[in-house]
Chains A and B, each alone.
Chain A
């Protein structure tokens, strides 16, 4: 039955997280924007404690279905909980949200590609007493959207049964915190056979404290400045044999399981980026409406378009965009919760989220005029924060390509 009733656990979670967003994020939003790369420890320590206590926030919840009083299985809502959590925290501050302790993309990659033993071994650290961080290192200076062009290599050293990683990675979100602040890990994508293209790609777990991996640079960014974006150099970085996620064999018959693993990770995380985009967009639209209301402007819902003022039209269009983007995110995570294949909806949610947040933040500043452009308000910060959601985890264009291939039934070769 088609339903849109927000589940109670989600409403309860939202109530708590709104307090966090209002009291621990918004008041320091400007500070951490101005002090790039300073780490928001108050927020991190609080969230770590809270998530340890409640079990919330695991990137890929895989809980067994809960049962109700009559013993019937309750629908799974783990991904939905997570989407709502990310939306609310991003409504607070998306840069600070990105510093949330836990596995992040690294844990998502472990879960998407690892064995149960690997999951147990690598993920336990995120529930320990001290906060730890996880990251994923995919992008290289010559390989952005075209991930199969990566050059970082992994060579098996037979004598001591270790993989030796060599290469340079850029744009690693949370890379510095994962390596240097606590017992975290980074999942590094490398090729075990450079002649094999995608078929040679594998993820490797590099734990904090491993010699041979170094942060060489932290990027200075347009927005999300609280979040570190690291460049890494791997120089004869040795990890144990069992740190490879997936098979060490390069099957000559086009075994691209490694590459597919990367893509499966994205099916889980893309709607969540959509959720963060919606959070920023909602913050913007709410503030905008509040400011307009102070100026005596209220929106007359229900009027024909021809009778609306330009500002009313803009606001109504923004509300349509925002709500439809959010519902699309919910649909994509609802599918994930119900174990329905969702690459199409995941990419649609990402495309829509990125589009909507950039449009809404841009329009909000236009409507507020010189005040919107000023640092007196957070609108200009959200404008800067917004743009990243149309870029990371697959640009809007890459995700359009995925949507197009899905609806056309085309392979990557048929639609390049």
Chain B
């Protein structure tokens, strides 16, 4: 059957997350962006909502089961409040979810309960490399087997909380395939650079990390000796980015809509001009259409359908374009005021550009 109706449990989760997004994240978003910092208590409060915990089974310290669909619903709602804040709250997932999806039983037992049962604490992933045609399937960072060890060499960027993280999953090319490796922070050969400055998501701390022949036990390969299928993790990266793109786009569309209904022009409201009303209608249609595609891809992933990889890629492509289109128009609708940092739309537009490029800073 087809259904577009979330379950009662999902509706409750959406409500809880929406309350946090509206009462906590949104009011703090502007200052967080200006000061390049998210207050720790805000992140902890978000962590306590239990979005990640609810996607991890009881056996590993959580209280639910992994569901891409539920993750999509929660992420859209939270990103509506603030993207950087959402990325921060979700950061431990960058480490926990790949282990849950692809880790060996031993790896799950070793790491998940500790992360899930404790306070928010940054565990992270080093995925992105900074060159123009960065492709998660063709990484320049390499892993070479040397007896009982892997030797990892390369340079990663956009590693969230690399300065504080206890451990990270480092993705590297092993025999031409992308594989994850669990790496303790602070090992010999790991060099963390200065925090990066970006176009947007300024409040979210990301760092370059250099790996110079870092040796890790061969058992630390994600999934154990036989490794894992990276496409599952990549699909989950795409779906996470898509869900958050929906949240940011919805925020921008709503803000522009309310502004246009309030703003006087030539004796009427600016929203009463068809040129503006049609822009809004197209933004709303775009969001509604892409949301169905994101949902379908998440559903396919949950069902283990083999088309999920392609569908998630399509959803991601559509969502990234949608975010740019919608946030750009939101700024345009506010005109000169849209360009002023007092209004949040310019921030959303800067964030709107991130989704297509930054595959690897969020996962659900």
Q: Write the residues of chain A forming the contact surface with B, with a CB cutoff of 8 angstroms.
A: 1-7, 75, 77, 80, 301-307, 316-317, 319-321, 323-325, 327-328, 330-331, 334-335, 345, 348, 351-352, 397, 400-401, 403-405, 407-408, 410, 414-416
Flag if A301 contacts B310 (CB, 8 Å).
yes
Q: Write the residues of chain B forming the contact surface with A, with a CB cutoff of 8 angstroms.
A: 1-7, 10, 69, 132-135, 137, 231, 234, 257, 260-261, 271-272, 274, 277-278, 280-282, 284-285, 288-290, 292-293, 295-296, 299-300, 309-311, 313-315, 317-318, 321, 356, 359
B139 to chain A, nearest CB (A): 12
Q: For B295, what are the chain A residues with a Cβ–Cβ distance below 8 Å?
A: 2, 4
Q: For B132, what are the chain A residues with a Cβ–Cβ distance below 8 Å?
A: 306
Flag if B293 contacts A320 (CB, 8 Å).
yes
Flag if A304 contacts B288 (CB, 8 Å).
no
Flag if A7 contacts B277 (CB, 8 Å).
no
B102 to chain A, nearest CB (A): 17
Flag if A407 contacts B293 (CB, 8 Å).
no
Closest A residue to B6 by CB, please name it.
A2
Q: Could you say which of A5, A320, A348, A414 contacts B2, with CB atoms under 8 Å apart? A: A5
CA A410 to CA B280, docked complex, whole Å: 13
B130 to chain A, nearest CB (A): 13
B295 to chain A, nearest CB (A): 6
Q: For B285, what are the chain A residues with a Cβ–Cβ distance below 8 Å?
A: 328, 348, 351-352, 403
Q: For A325, what are the chain B residues with a Cβ–Cβ distance below 8 Å?
A: 289
Closest B residue to A335 by CB, please name it.
B4
CA A139 to CA B360, docked complex, whole Å: 54
Flag if B135 contacts A307 (CB, 8 Å).
yes
Flag if A2 contacts B310 (CB, 8 Å).
no
Q: List, sorted by A's number, 13 A–B pairs whose CB atoms are closer than 8 Å.
A: A1-B3, A4-B2, A304-B134, A317-B317, A320-B317, A323-B293, A327-B289, A328-B292, A330-B2, A334-B2, A351-B282, A410-B277, A416-B272
B290 to chain A, nearest CB (A): 6
Flag if B289 contacts A404 (CB, 8 Å).
no
CA A401 to CA B280, docked complex, whole Å: 10
Tell me what chain B mostly uses at the interface: helix, strand, loop, or mixed. Answer: helix
Flag if A302 contacts B277 (CB, 8 Å).
no
Q: For B261, what are the chain A residues with a Cβ–Cβ distance below 8 Å?
A: 408
Flag if A2 contacts B4 (CB, 8 Å).
yes
Flag if A2 contacts B3 (CB, 8 Å).
yes
Flag if A331 contacts B292 (CB, 8 Å).
yes
Q: A319-B314, A400-B281, A415-B271 are in contact. List 14 more A-B contacts (CB 8 A).
A: A1-B6, A3-B1, A3-B2, A4-B296, A5-B2, A80-B2, A303-B135, A320-B317, A324-B292, A327-B292, A327-B296, A328-B292, A404-B277, A410-B272
Q: Which among A4, A6, A304, A397 has the greatest number of chain B C-beta atoms within 10 A? A: A4
CA A85 to CA B348, docked complex, whole Å: 41
B51 to chain A, nearest CB (A): 17
Flag if A304 contacts B281 (CB, 8 Å).
no
Q: For A401, what are the chain B residues with a Cβ–Cβ distance below 8 Å?
A: 274, 277-278, 281
Q: Could you say which of B5, B280, B313, B314 contacts A1, with CB atoms under 8 Å apart? A: B5
Closest A residue to B69 by CB, please name it.
A2
A123 to chain B, nearest CB (A): 27
CA A77 to CA B1, docked complex, whole Å: 9
Q: Could you say which of B6, B257, B282, B321 contacts A408, with CB atoms under 8 Å apart? A: B257
Flag if A404 contacts B288 (CB, 8 Å).
no
B54 to chain A, nearest CB (A): 16
Flag if B7 contacts A316 (CB, 8 Å).
no
Flag if A404 contacts B4 (CB, 8 Å).
no
A188 to chain B, nearest CB (A): 31
A347 to chain B, nearest CB (A): 9
B42 to chain A, nearest CB (A): 29
Flag if B277 contacts A324 (CB, 8 Å).
no
Q: Could you say which of A2, A4, A6 contacts B5, with CB atoms under 8 Å apart? A: A2
A101 to chain B, nearest CB (A): 28
